[in-house]
Structure 1
Amino acid sequence: MRKIDLIVIHCSATRCNRDFPVTALIRCHADRFGFTGYHYYITRDGTVYQTRHEQLVGAHAKGYNSRSLGVCYEGGLNAQGKPEDTRTKAQKWAMTNLLKYLIKKHPDAQILGHRDLPNVHKDCPCFDVKAEYAGITI
């Protein structure tokens, strides 16, 4: 059984005015990695998809994949293609509930944004994960 001590939040880096359904994510990752790199994906309507079994190592945070889970939300870019927190109310609600569930399963896990990891030079997930989810506990 894998020891999970990190939950990494990502965005799909897609424009908020263009759909990027779970099927597109799966296809994109299959082409890139041969499998889906994130464990969970949250679409704009707040639907949570488990896209990879938690016991399987993902491909979402180089150097941290063996000990982490990857959670991604659809969006992260505004209509002009600039990084922005584009989460809908439904996505925020779904992400909070998913993180509460994951912390119960993995009580030693820390929740971070992709950009919070050392040597990551991206805006992903385009909001301050540490501030927003600091209060999530079991």
Structure 2
Amino acid sequence: MRTVTLIIIHCSATPQGVDLSFEDCRREHIRHRGFSDIGYHFYVTRNGKIHCGRPLEKIGAHCKNHNRHSIGICYEGGLDIRGTPADTRTLLQKASLTALLRELKRIFPKILVVGHHDLNPMKACPCFNAVAEYRKL
């Protein structure tokens, strides 16, 4: 198993009312970004379903200079209906993200949870303060 020190939370930058399924996201990463698979390890759709992407043993493709030592989790959403960055997580997504993070913290007790923005301030992603929200997990 590789050494993992971070969990990086992302949003798909999908406006409210527009769906981006797990398979659509995977297809976009493969066809348009040239990845071998979806870049994230987990993808959480608006209905709260957690989809497994890349296996944890494999390096992700989700945050430049941090993929080797991180787990990438993306939630469907992140933009309001006007396309402005916003925390659009549903209650089901929030519950699923918390459950997933608790399980990953059980496996990797010293892992830190951050948002993509914390590592790349040029990005609004994940459109909420992940460090503050998940500090007490």
TM-score under structure 2 length normalisation: 0.96
Map 1:92-131 to 2 at 5 A: 92-117=94-119, 119-131=120-132
Q: Give secondary structure in 2 for the equivalent of 1:92.
A: helix
Cα distance per residue 1:83-128 (max 9 Å; x no partner): 00000000000000000000111112100000001x4411000000
State the partner residue of 1:23. Answer: 23
TM-score under structure 1 length normalisation: 0.95
State the partner residue of 2:84. Answer: 82
Cα distance per residue 1:62-87 (max 9 Å; x no partner): 10100000000000000110000000
Q: What is the root-mean-square deviation of aligned Cα atoms in Å?
A: 0.8
Letter in 2 for 1:72: C
Q: Give secondary structure in 2 for the equivalent of 1:8.
A: strand
Structure 2, unmatched stretches of 5+, are none
State the partner residue of 1:46. Answer: 48
State the partner residue of 1:12. Answer: 12
Aligned length in residues: 135
- Counterparts of 2:132 and 2:50 in 1: how far apart (Å)? 22
Q: Give secondary structure in 2 for the equivalent of 1:41.
A: strand
- Counterparts of 1:40 and 1:16 in 2: how far apart (Å)? 20
State the partner residue of 2:36. Answer: 34
**Identical-residue share of aligned pairs (%):** 46
Letter in 2 for 1:15: P
Letter in 2 for 1:123: A
State the partner residue of 1:70. Answer: 72
- Counterparts of 1:134 and 1:93 in 2: how far apart (Å)? 15
1:91 paired residue among 87, 90, 93: 93
1:35 deviates by 1.6
